Structure formats: structure tokens, C-alpha cells
A and B are shown apart, each in its own frame.
Chain A
Amino acid sequence: MQFRVIKKGEISQKKYTLITLTAIFSALVTSGLFLALLGLNPLEVYLAMVKGAFGTTYRLEQTIVKSIPLVVTSLGIAIAFKMKFWNIGAEGQIMMGAFGASYFALQYPDMSRPLLLVIMMVAAFVGGAIWGLIPAFFKAKWATNETIVTLMMNYVALKWITYLQYGPWKDPNALGFPKIANFTENAILPKIFGVHIGWIIALILVVLIHVFLKHSKKGFEISVLGESYNTARYAGINISKTILIAMLLSGGICGLVGMLQVAGVSKTLSVEISGGVGYTAIITTWLAALKAPWIVIVSFLFAALIQGSSFIQTAFGISAASALLLEAMILFFVLGSEFFTRYRVVLEYKLPFKKKEES
């Protein structure tokens, strides 16, 4: 008796969906056991999670607010990943974008609202772009490892914002509490249908990035370079320029997220501004297979998961850690199911060979 792992050929969309659904179901069953151990009814908890994410207008709005940064950051990351440039510095790029936007929000609180918001967006894009360009420049010039450089840049950005919050930008009116002053009304994004207009910006970007990656010359060059460095050279693609442009866009779009968060959600700058979105978005980008339309769906479901699990914390008095465990469980099963889309496992028993006499 032995186990064997066999590689599958291309599988149909139907089968793929079936495997993913099975994975989610298995995750729910496993998590259910855990919840039962805590003395809770798993079905009630799951129902509450759905209600928590979509049950009321307010909760649905919250889910959308949480999906906006995920969508936009995933778009930025997708551009870099398409080039196989492993940008895990979205976190830092978001923070530097937030910094750029906050600078203008705090310096020019009385500027007219539309103008100030546009300037903040540009500043955020530039901030993120610079943070993306630095590792790109090193990679293009000296072929450094972008994974390490982008990761390290996250900490630089984080410490820079910490310094501002505890030092020069500390709000003197906050009674010694280390926080940066709230923005004036002019620096805050207006709302449409109850959610700040970031969702419109996100949807516009989805279309733009989709066209850029699928149908533009630069997008084509980025894909070719991602697949094969030598073929890119062979085809006459300017490699350094392509790396720089891709990372300028990738970092810039992530930077924009910083602006959406400070001007749409927190209304000020703080070290918690990115809330780990830069890392979570890596997962959503990957699950969406770098495809812009799928990024919207995956990010929305992911946001619902986060929103739902934060709701059950209060509703059932479950600890934050337990709620996180549920999130992690679903993620674990869904990511793990990827294995079964590519391979199948065979269990077999073989009859021993019998010699037969032949004339």
C-alpha cells in the first residue's frame, strides 16, 4: 500500500470552484469543532458572522470601507507581481503616501476642499512612488534582492511616522497624548451612499489597471520581463526603465491607499494607519491570480471575513485571538486547497508480479 502524488493537467473552472467550496466547507467544519469546544453553537456563530458583515446598512458600509484599501493595495501589488518583482513593501508605501497626504492636510487646512484633496492625492502617490522607486533603482542598478529591500523599507517608514507622532507633529492640544491633530473638514473625503468616495476611486483604478496590464505596451513589457529576463532583452525591452516604471506605479497606487485611509477613515495620521493591509493584500492579490476584476471580489470577501469576525467578538464575547483563529483557519484551507487543484493523491495496493511459463 502506498500514497502517491500525481500532477494534474489543466482543470476546468467548475472543478476549481468545487475544490474551493469544499475547502471553505472543511474550514467551517474544523472551526466548528473548535467553537463547540468553547461551548458555542457553531451555526449561530457563522450566521452571526454573515449578519455582522452584511446584516445592516451600517455593517455593509463598514465591510466596504474595509475592502477599499485591500482592493487598491492589491492592484498596486499586482503590477509588481506581474513582473515577478516581489514587492512586499506595500505597508511602507501606504505609510509614506499617508505621510505625503497628511503634510498638506496639516499645513494648508484652509485650502479649498477639492483642491486640497487633489493635492493630497498627488502627494500620496508621490510618497508611495518614491518608496517603491528606491528598491526598484537598487534592483535595476545592482540587481539587489527586492524582497529584502522592500521589507526593510517598511520599518523605515513605520519608524518615521512614529517619530512624527511622538515628536514634531504631536498635537499640543491633546493633553500630552501622543497623537497627530485631526484634519479639518477640507481634508476629508466626501461620502456617496454612506461610504467615502474611495470606493469610486477604487473601481476606476480597477478598470485602469486592468486595461494597463492586459492591453498596454508597458503592461505587455512588464509581463514579458516577469516571465523571462533574457527574452525581454532579446525583444529589445529596456529593462531598467520597465522596472522603474512598474514600481513607480505599484508604489504610487499603494501610496494612494494611505491618502484614502487618512482622509476617508481615520481623519488623521497615526502609526496604525495601514493596519497590516500591505501584508493582507499580498494574499488577496495572489488569490485573485493578479487579475484586477478578481481582486475586487476576493478583497470584498476578505473584508467581510474580517468584519464578521470582529462582530462575533462583541456578540459572543469571544476573545480577539479566537476570532483571528477562525480567519486563519479559512485562509489555511483555501490556500491549502490550491494543492488539490494541481495534484491528486492516489492510494493504491499493488499485486505482486507472478511469473508465468511460456512455451
Chain B
Amino acid sequence: MKSGSAFIFMKDITKVFGTVTATNSMSFEVEKGEIHALLGENGAGKSTLMNMLSGIYIPDSGHILIDGKEVNFSSPRDSIKAGVGMIHQHFKLVDILTGLENIMLGQKYGLFINKKLLNIQIRKIMDKYHLEIDMSKYVYDMSVGEKQTLEILKTLYRGAKILILDEPTAVLTPQETVNLFRIMIRMKEQGCAVIFISHKMNEVMEISDRVTVLRKGQTIGTLKKSETNPQELIEKMVGRPIDLSIKRIERITDNVVLKVKNLRADNEEGIEVLKGLNFDLCSGEILGVAGIAGSGQKELCEALAGLYPVKEGKIEFKGEDLIGRSPKEYITRGISMSFIPEDRLGMGLVASMDMVDNILLKQYHYNKGFLVNRKPAGLKAKEIIKKLDIQTPGVNYPIKNLSGGNIQKVLLGRELDVSPELLITAYPVRGLDINTSLKIYEILNEEKKKGVAILYIAEDLDSLLALSDRIMVISNGEITGIVKAENARKDQIGLMMLGKKEDEYAV
């Protein structure tokens, strides 16, 4: 093959941030009419590489050729002109506008807009790619899947022939994922180049034609899907063989630690977000919680941790009702519950502070007098670094400069240090690579062995099925079913996530 003849051709791309080399002389080629998966651990350089292709970053050195012509993007506007469209993990849509208005945004028109013509143009694209979406609907009324479809449509309307999808399935239900894959295949058939970034091996194997593996800022290689297997890809990605299986440990006791009765809560606008939840949690059990993002998971966790106002109901922890207690009372009364929030740096940790101060957060209430004593926290920090194998230059290093996995370990280490009897953990492996995720699962299983009751909220059904004893599915603030993980099926849980009630409660 002639070098540089591919549709997208990136060669010797280097990008340095401060002292970190994000991509080191990377090369990447994509052909027309293929779905090309980009695989790599966190920090491998996937996002950086794609951000350079979409004009968000400018490479320090190297060349980008599209359709044989060299391009120098200095802004996303340039890349859109060249036919590159990127769908980010966080959608760039305006909530209070309709689908149509979102598409019109930022486009150059004359003084008046010919809505009729615009509608016809959009209709054409929708027919061509088999997209189905109500353009007059407001974005705030749309489901995550609809929003994503709108993003894709917006990008196509702007003339994209190259579509980059950054972990698009992370927020979707299994059914929505199927739909997305249908759209991707349709785009491929129409001659577009689709670049698909994902952590999920099974999806990569299902949808892609070729896979490029990145590791630590370097291109390891491009493989045809038909000529490889997940084990090989993971070895290339991590750099060594790895055991992927997650073990489920049988639960030992039937001691109910947490009893939630008819829990109801309203959000700030007065809309009910928790609609009478009832469930039990035993010691030594992992209760998985599945649900579409925003179904009430966050509110449930925060209500249990005393951070969300509860309207009605009971939260009984070892027989004591926790409703109305503040987080400070939890700490000072010795209620042994730990909460690992989903937004690690937004809640739970202070990004700009070092490990000592972050550990101090849970300890300083016990300090007598006016001053704080940082010594015990410092010792604890060193202990946690050793125990969880945290990579950091030192205990006095701001934690925001650590990698996501290490930040999560700091949080986990601090929370497990108090030997909780109940552990609430929301999306503990979000954004972490396979290696670190497995380590976190292992830690959770160890805690379970010790008899800790664990409420495990996650978006990845595979890990939920493998790790939990029971899975509680919530949809729109209601429990649609609690099923035994051993005999649960993915499609069944998917339907329950969408609101279909499960009649046989296998408790």
C-alpha cells in the first residue's frame, strides 16, 4: 500500500502537555467506508489524537492528510469544513432549544431562515442514514439516545464524512446501543469513515472492521477484526497477558444491615425523583443498581448519605433511622457508612489539595480544640499508598495531578480506612482502564468477604452481572425489579431499565 493513500492519514503526530508526552510520533490511518475502533487504556492518547483530528488541539509536530490533501486545523471550524465531526461524551446541545434550533445554531444563513428548505434538507439526511427523531422536540425532553442521534444528525448536516464517536455507548441502554450500531453501519455503507472509541471489548468485536491499539502515547498496531481476538487486543493494550474474569463470591450471612422503606424525595423543582423505594441490603452482599443515567441513582446515594432532603420514608441502618441526620452526625456518631460519590473531584475529594488534607477531611472533626493535627492523616496517607499501590510523587502532591485510577484509589482508601459496615459506591470504575477496574472489583470483593454490605451503582451491565449478588433496576425513580444476578439476562435488565416492571421478584 502506498503510504499516505488512506482517506484519513495521520503521521508522526506528537503532542506534549507540560512535561507529559500525550502522543509520541503516532500514526493512524482510516479508510472510507469502515468502522475503525480506537482502543487503549486511559492516558494512551486516544482522546488527544482525536482532538487533534477535530481541530481542538494543534499537534506539536506531524502531518494530517484527509483525502490526500494536507490539512492544518487551527480550530474545530476548520475541521468541520474538511468533513470531520466529533461526538463527544458530553453532548454539546442547548437544552432549551428544539432539535431543529440546535442544528441551526452557529450556521451561517442570510437574514431570514428558510425553515421549509432546512426541514427538507434534514429529512433527506435522516432518510439517507435511517435516523429517526422528532425535530420539534425540546432537547430537555429527549432521552440520552435521542440526544445522541441529534448530535449525529447535526454533525452530518454540517457535511461530516468522518465521524468520531468518543465512548458513545457509555450512557446508553442495551437497546439504544443496538440502535446506535445500526446507524453506524448505515453510515459505513454510505461511504463515511467512522472512528469508534470504546473501552468495551465486546462492542469493539461486534461493530468494528479494523482496530488500532494505542498504549502510552504510541501506536502499537492496526489489526483486522477478523484476524484477532479480545485476548490479543487486551494484551496489546495493556502490554502483558491479563485475566479478565471477575469472580463472584458467595454471600455468607442474611443479616439485614440497611432497610429502606418507601423512600421519597423531590428535586429542587419539586418533581419527585425517588418514588417510594423499598429494599434491603445484607452484610456481605453486593447489591448492584442498574438504570439509565439520571433515573435517581445520584439522589438515592445522596439520600442514604444524608446529603439529599428526604420527603418521606425510612432509612434504617442497623435499626437506627437515619432520616434527618447530617453528614457531620454520621461521622461524629460513628455511623459506619462510607459513600464513594460518582463525581470524585466534585464531591468527596478536593482536587487542589494534597492527599494528607483529603484524608484529613474525614478526620478533623475528631480533633479537639482550635487547630488541626495533620500528623495522623499523613501517616494514614502513607499507609493507603502502600496498601492500594497508589502511584504518586508524594503525600503532599495535589491529587488533581494524579491519574483517574489513582484518584479513585485515594477516595476508596480513605473510605475503607474507617472499616465501614455499609459501603455505597457510585460508578467506581467510570473512566478507569481495564487494569485498574479489575483492581477496584477485587477490592470490593475483599470488603464483601469481610462482611461489608455494598451498594454498587454502575453503568456497565457486564460488571454488574459478574459482581453483584442481586441487581436492583431503577427507572425514573422507581424500582422496576430486583433480580438474582446469577440467572438474570441482559436484555431483560435492559427492558426493566426502560421502565418495564419485573413481576417475579427474586429476592
Partner of B352, one of A211, A227, A233: A227
Q: Is the CB of A234 within 8 A of B341?
A: yes
Contact with A along B357-394 (1 / 0, CB 8 A): 10011101101001110000000000000000000000
User: Quick one: closest A residue to B357, CB to CB?
Assistant: A220
Main secondary structure of the interface of B (DSSP, over half): loop
Distance in angstroms between the alpha carbons of A216 and B373 in the assembled complex: 9
Pick the contact of B371 from A217, A230, A356 — CB < 8 Å?
A217
List residues of chain B with CB within 8 A of the CB of A352: 70
**B351 in contact (CB, < 8 A):** yes
Residue of A nearest to B362 (CB): A235
Quote the shortest CB–CB distance from A326 to chain B (angstroms): 36
A-chain residues with CB within 8 Å of residue B72 when the two chains form the complex: 2, 350
Interface residues of B in 385-420 (CB under 8 A from A): none
For window 212-232 of chain A, which residues contact chain B by CB distance below 8 Å? 215-218, 220, 223-224, 227-228, 230-231
Complex Cα spacing A352 to B62, Å: 10
A7 within 8 A of B: yes
CA distance A334 to B339 in the complex (A): 45
Contact: A7 with B371, CB < 8 Å? no
Contacting residues, chain B, for A224 (C-beta < 8 A): 350, 353, 361
Given contacts A236-B328, A353-B70, A356-B3, contact A220 B364 (CB under 8 A): yes
Bound-complex Cα distance A281 to B357 (A): 29
Contact of B346 (CB < 8 Å), options: A223, A228, A236: A228
Give B350's nearest chain A residue, CB to CB: A227
Determine the chain A residues whose CB is within 8 A of the CB of B229 once the complex forms. none
Query: Which residues of B sit under 8 angstroms from A211, Cβ to Cβ?
Result: 371
The residue among A7, A9, A234, A352 with the most chain B CB atoms within 10 A of its own CB is: A234
Are B327's CB and A227's CB within 8 A?
A: no
- A355 near B4 with CB under 8 A, answer yes
Q: Which residues of the partner chain B approach A218 to less than 8 Å between Cβ atoms?
A: 370
- Closest 10 A/B residue pairs (Cβ): A9-B18, A236-B328, A236-B327, A230-B347, A353-B63, A235-B361, A227-B350, A9-B19, A355-B4, A353-B70
List residues of B whose CB falls within 8 A of some A CB. 2-4, 11, 16-20, 58, 61, 63, 65, 70, 72, 74, 305, 307, 326-332, 339, 341, 343, 345-353, 357, 360-362, 364-365, 367, 370-372
Closest to A4 in B: B58
Is the beta-carbon distance between B371 and A215 smaller than 8 angstroms? yes
Specify which chain B residues have a CB less than 8 angstroms from the CB of A216 in the assembled complex: 370-372
Q: Quick check: A236 and B353 within 8 Å, CB to CB?
A: no
Q: A residues touching B (Cβ–Cβ < 8 Å)?
A: 2, 4, 6-10, 211, 215-218, 220, 223-224, 227-228, 230-231, 233-238, 350, 352-353, 355-358
Across-interface contacts of B361 in A (CB, < 8 A): 224, 231, 235
CB proximity of A6 to chain B, nearest CB, Å:
8
In the complex, how many angstroms separate the beta carbon of A27 from the nearest chain B beta carbon?
Answer: 28
How far apart are the CA atoms of A2 and B16 in the complex, in Å?
A: 17
CB nearest to B12 among chain A residues: A353
A1 to B271, CA, bound (A): 56
Nearest B-chain residue to A357, judged by Cβ? B2
Shortest Cβ distance from residue B120 to the other chain A in the assembled complex, whole angstroms:
40
Cα A357 to Cα B327 in complex, Å, equals 67
Minimum CB–CB distance for B364 against chain A, Å:
6
Task: Identify A233's interface contact among B58, B65, B307, CB under 8 A.
Answer: B307
- Chain A residues near B63 (CB, 8 Å)? 353
CB of B327 to closest CB in A, whole Å = 4
Query: CA A217 – CA B72 in complex, angstroms?
Result: 53
Within the assembled complex, what's the spacing in Å between the Cα atoms of A354 and B11? Answer: 11
Question: What A residues does B341 contact at CB under 8 A?
Answer: 230, 234
B360 x A220 contact (CB < 8 A)? yes
The smallest beta-carbon distance between B48 and chain A, in angstroms, is: 13
A233 to B347, CA, bound (A): 8
A42 to chain B, nearest CB (A): 38
- Which among A234, A236, A357 is the interface contact of B348 at CB below 8 angstroms? A234
Most A CB within 10 A of own CB, among B19, B65, B70, B361: B361
21 A-B pairs (CB sep. < 8 Å):
A2-B74, A6-B16, A7-B17, A7-B18, A217-B370, A218-B370, A220-B357, A224-B353, A227-B353, A228-B345, A228-B346, A228-B347, A228-B350, A230-B346, A231-B346, A234-B305, A234-B339, A234-B347, A234-B348, A353-B63, A353-B70
Contact (Cβ within 8 A) A233 B327: yes
Q: Are B2 and A358 in contact (CB under 8 A)?
A: yes
Question: Which residue of B has the minimal Cβ distance to A215?
Answer: B371
Task: Tell me, rounded to whole Å, the shortest Cβ–Cβ distance linking B301 to chain A.
Answer: 11
If A7-B17, A355-B3, A356-B3 touch, whether A234 touches B351 (CB-CB below 8 Å) is: no
Complex Cα spacing A234 to B307, Å: 7
By a CB distance below 8 angstroms, the chain A residues around B345 are 228
List A contacts of B362 (CB < 8 A). Answer: 235
| Cβ–Cβ contact A231 & B370, under 8 A | no
User: Does the CB pair B4–A231 fall under 8 Å?
Assistant: no
When distances are taken between beta carbons in the complex, the residues of chain A under 8 Å from B339 are 234
Q: Please name 10 further chain A to chain B contacts, defined as beta carbons within 8 Å, in addition to the given A231-B349, A233-B347, sorted by A numbering.
A: A9-B18, A217-B367, A220-B360, A224-B350, A227-B352, A228-B345, A230-B347, A234-B348, A235-B362, A236-B365
Closest to B328 in A: A236
Which residues from chain B contact A9 at a C-beta distance below 8 Å? 17-20
Query: What's the minimum C-beta distance from B58 to chain A, rounded to whole angstroms?
Result: 6
A216 to B345, CA, bound (A): 23
Min CB distance B340 to A, Å, is 10
Chain B residues with Cβ under 8 A from A7's Cβ?
A: 17-18
- Please pick, from A231, A350, A353, A358, the residue contacting B11 in the complex, using a CB distance under 8 A: A353
Contact B357 A236 (CB under 8 A): no
User: Shortest distance in angstroms between A329's beta carbon and chain B's nearest beta carbon?
Assistant: 31
